[in-house]
Structure 1
Amino acid sequence: MLSLLLVVSLAARGLAATAALPASYAIWAADSAISRGQGNGLNASGAPLVSYEHGELQWALRLLYEKTGNKTYFDYIQQGVDRVVTSNGTVIGGYGFTTDYQLDPIRTGPTFLYLYNVTGQQKYKTAADKYRQQLETHPRTTQGQFWHKLRYPNQGWLDGIYMGDVFYAQYTHDFQPSNTSAWNDIQAQFTLMYQNTLQNATSPPHLLYHGYDHSHTASWASPDRGHSPEVWDRALGWYMMALVDTLDIFPTSHPGHDALLSILRTLAPRVRDAADPSSGAWWLVITQPGRTGNYFESSGTAMFVYALLKGVRRGYLHDDGVVAAAKKAYRYMTNNWVVANADGTMNWLNTVQVGSLDGNGTFEYYTSVPTDVNDLKGLAAFALSSIEYERLR
């Protein structure tokens, strides 16, 4: 039976309220992505592709497989990875290792570790080892922060925490649990990013700028710590998701666990309060609410809902209105960004294509980037947020 929310949403779009749609938005989103071949280890031309977006979807599919037992999700994960990991564990599909030194591809690493733990196949461990070896020589700032990419010297971006450090933590947990130096380093990645991007303004929202240039040479680098000028919702969303996912992995006996917990508990109520009071959603550029050209963006909103609900569920956060805020945002998402298709799939709207600090990092830049339908960065985040929302029931 359709939920009242689905019925109202469909009726508002002039669709038949009796359409045969899944009762779970998480399943609907995942099944829709699979039906379109999204996140399958291939690019649009059918060539192997290592993609952080695929890694994000695979994380959601893994959770759905564990929740439902539907092996379709596991098989899809494995098939996608097998397109970029050869039989001897070589990673193909555009992964450049020391030639590129990018953090983005490492987001597929948690899937390699998951498949190794489930199947015992050595090739997945060999592929994960390659990513771990990259971290040994990955360039850093003088403070120790990983550069986001080789082509962005001395720059740390919030995005990179999600891309690199969830894997770093999982690998350490699985194979080097007593490696105190590694746990110290993982904590440092989160802490340095937080310290160098935290807004010092006297008025809210007191959140995190998109990134910083420790060398102060980028055109956008501020005199104060070299941070970028705006708070971009998806960058902060990546960081928030990384916090709640890494806290699950980080040993509670290590002081770094409390350090990450403190950051989460500081940011979560500020994220809650930064939501638009009317819609409950978050602006693309959080530092400029209501400014002409700004809009409610779907990937960041979904990421915040996931992080806030998971944080409360896992006991990392006290509720303090966090759940109510997340539920309000979730209702906005399903009412405005989910569209039912005639073939039984759903479309996902209003995800901005990209956000980069390659340019000037201004409000005008962020708002000039187009949005996509079914952009996987947003669709996967919606699946994740739906998994957490449906746990409430």
Structure 2
Amino acid sequence: MTTKSIKLWLAFGALLSGVATQARPESVAEWNAQSIMARGQGNGLNATGHPSVSYEHGEFQWALRLLYERTGDKQYYDYMQKSVDNLVAPDGTIRNYNLQEYNIDHVRVGPTCLHLYKKTGLKKYKIAADTFRSQLETHPRNSEGQFWHKKIYPHQGWLDGIYMGDIFYADYAKVFQPRNNTAWSDIALQFKLQWEHTLQNATAPNSTQTLYHGYDNSGVAPWASADRGHSLEVWNRAVGWYAMALVDILDIFPKTHPGYAMILAQLRHLIPKLRDSADKKSGVWWLVMSQPGRAGNYFESSGAAMFIYASLKAVRLGHVKDRDGSIVKSMKKAYSYALKNWVFENPDGTMGWNNTVIVGSLVSSGDYPYYIAQPINMNDLKGAAAFVMASVEVEAL
């Protein structure tokens, strides 16, 4: 970090509660990651100490990869590897994994297995990656070819599932099947169908022109719209998962395939809409973006962190042009709000993270009362891991 950056973080730190300790890193990204690690989160085990196939852990492992690439500090790589080793047995068996559940969330651990195989050459990581890839071979799909989000949610494609499944699908193809045009076209199809069914029309009430949470192409779900089967509301974290998927898959997807241009076009539409849909005063986003200011709605932290990460990365890599600087300015404003309102310092000097909603699902009514009724969680890994990634991008400025 530059001297100017360090002074900036110190200035922000003065706004946080508590007294800073000498051990606290100057980098917010590192402070956050080290605090998550100190709590033992994302370590491949559940609360009872048993191996757990968790998309949250996969998300944090991705954040650790970015941080290790940025800093070269091996503690981040070692924690990531230990997390996978807690889950993957020496023979490559994935402990407590049931392929027949057909849960697309489970596949999110796959990218870390691929990464470790590329780094170490150890066969067990390839076997584990092969196992996750085999799930996609038989994973149920709707009539158009979209992966079901889970076996228990027939015919439904969720924004979440694109991040969980298709980053790994693409990464696996790049490593082992780079000329498999069928796979690349199938991955592109997942983005195409999800977008076409869930993009919010400009004429919709309170339109953000972003994306509804999911869709059911059979029209059976009680929330499915008559036209495209989309759900009722725009839920911020679902949009966040999709935004991160768009910007991350462009690092992997072949530019020569037509799907690359389609995905890039989606990203170029979405990022400015995220800027424009932020609350004008606070700079962040409502939990239910399609109901701004409605009683019970609130500013939620995980979606905000995901938007900051995806937007700044998209601009940094030149995928999205920010000619007037308004996108970066918007994301810096949102980041400042996060530091002032959702970050706090614990008595032991670790960083705490607040205001991440525990869950959002389309398993029930999928309506506004459902979303706002879900509890928020302190130090929820879904939000904290995303804030590591957001902080990496902000610090890269």
* Equivalences, count: 390
Instruction: Please tell me the residue identity of whatever aligns with 2:136.
Output: L
Q: Which runs of 5+ in 2 are unaligned?
A: none
| Residue pair 1:194, 1:208 contacting (<8 A) in 2 also | yes
Secondary structure of 1:83's counterpart equals helix
- Separation in structure 2 between the aligned mates of residue 209 and residue 311 of structure 1, nearest angstrom: 21
Could you tell me which residue of structure 1 aligns to residue 182 of structure 2? 181
Aligned partner of 1:340 in structure 2 is: 345
Shift of 1:12: 4.0
Shift of residue 206 of structure 1? 1.1
Question: What's 1:376 paired with?
Answer: 381
In structure 1, the residue matched to 2:246 is 243
Distance in 1 between residues matched to 2:193 and 2:92, nearest whole Å: 33
Normalising by the residue count of structure 2, what TM-score does the alignment of the two structures yield? 0.96
Q: What aligned pairs does 1:278-357 form with structure 2 within 5 A after superposition?
A: 278-320=281-323, 321-357=326-362
| Residue in structure 1 matched with residue 396 of structure 2 by the alignment | 391
TM-score, structure 1 normalization = 0.96
Shift of 1:225: 1.0
What residue in structure 2 maps to residue 37 of structure 1? 40
Q: Give the % identical residues.
A: 59
1:257-296 matches, cutoff 5 A: 257-296=260-299
Are the aligned partners of 1:10 and 1:16 in contact in 2 as well (CA < 8 Å)? no
2:33–2:388 contact (8 Å) kept in structure 1: yes
Answer yes or no: is the 8 Å Cα contact 1:113–1:124 preserved in 2.
yes
Gaps of 5+ in 1: none
What's the CA shift string for 1:289-316, capped at 9, x where partnerless? 1111101100000000000000011111
**Residue 84, structure 1, aligned to residue 74, structure 2:** no
Task: Specify the alignment match of 1:196 in structure 2.
Answer: 197
| Distance in 1 separating the partners of 2:106 and 2:330 | 32
Write the mapping of 1:117-128 to structure 2, written as runs, cut at 5 A.
Answer: 117-128=118-129
CA distance in 2, matches of 1:268, 1:187: 19
Once the two structures are TM-superposed, the CA of residue 16 in structure 1 deviates from its matched residue by: 3.4
Equivalent AA in structure 2 for residue 50 of structure 1: V
Structure 2 Cα separation of the partners of residues 257 and 83 of structure 1: 35
What does residue 58 of structure 1 align with? 61
Query: Are 1:70 and 2:73 counterparts?
Result: yes
Which is worse superposed, 32-41 or 203-212? 203-212
Q: In the TM superposition, what is the alpha-carbon distance from 1:106 to its structure 2 partner?
A: 0.3
8 Å Cα contact 1:89-1:122 kept in structure 2: yes
For 1:131, the equivalent position in structure 2 comes to: 132
On the 8 A contact 2:356/2:383 being kept in 1, the answer is yes
Alignment counterpart, residue 52 of structure 2, candidates 38, 49, 62? 49
Residue type of the alignment partner of 1:275: A
Q: Quick check: 1:224 aligned with 2:254?
A: no
For residues 16 and 123 of structure 1, the distance between their equivalents in structure 2, rounded to whole angstroms, comes to 45
In 2, distance between residues paired with 1:234 and 1:156?
Answer: 15
1:254 aligns with 2:257: yes
**Alpha-carbon shift at residue 15 of structure 1 (Å):** 3.1
State the alpha-carbon separation in 2 of the partners of residues 391 and 102 from structure 1: 35
Which segment is superposed worse, 16-25 or 304-313? 16-25
Q: What is the one-letter code of the residue matched to 2:231?
A: S
164-173 or 216-225: which moved more?
Answer: 216-225
In the aligned structure 2, how far is the partner of 1:18 from the partner of 1:57?
25
Task: Output the CA distance in 2 between the equivalents of 1:152 and 1:305.
Answer: 30
User: In the alignment, which of 93, 97, 100 is matched to residue 99 of structure 2?
Assistant: 97
Following TM superposition, by how much is the alpha carbon of 1:341 offset from its aligned partner in structure 2, in angstroms?
A: 1.3
Question: Partner of 1:82: helix, strand, or coil?
Answer: helix
Counterpart amino acid of residue 300 in structure 1: G
CA contact (8 A) 1:276 1:283 kept: yes
Matches of 1:4 and 1:272, distance apart in 2: 27
Q: In structure 1, what is the Cα distance between the partners aligned to 2:15 and 2:388?
A: 22
2:156 maps to what in 1? 155
In the TM superposition, what is the alpha-carbon distance from 1:21 to its structure 2 partner?
2.5
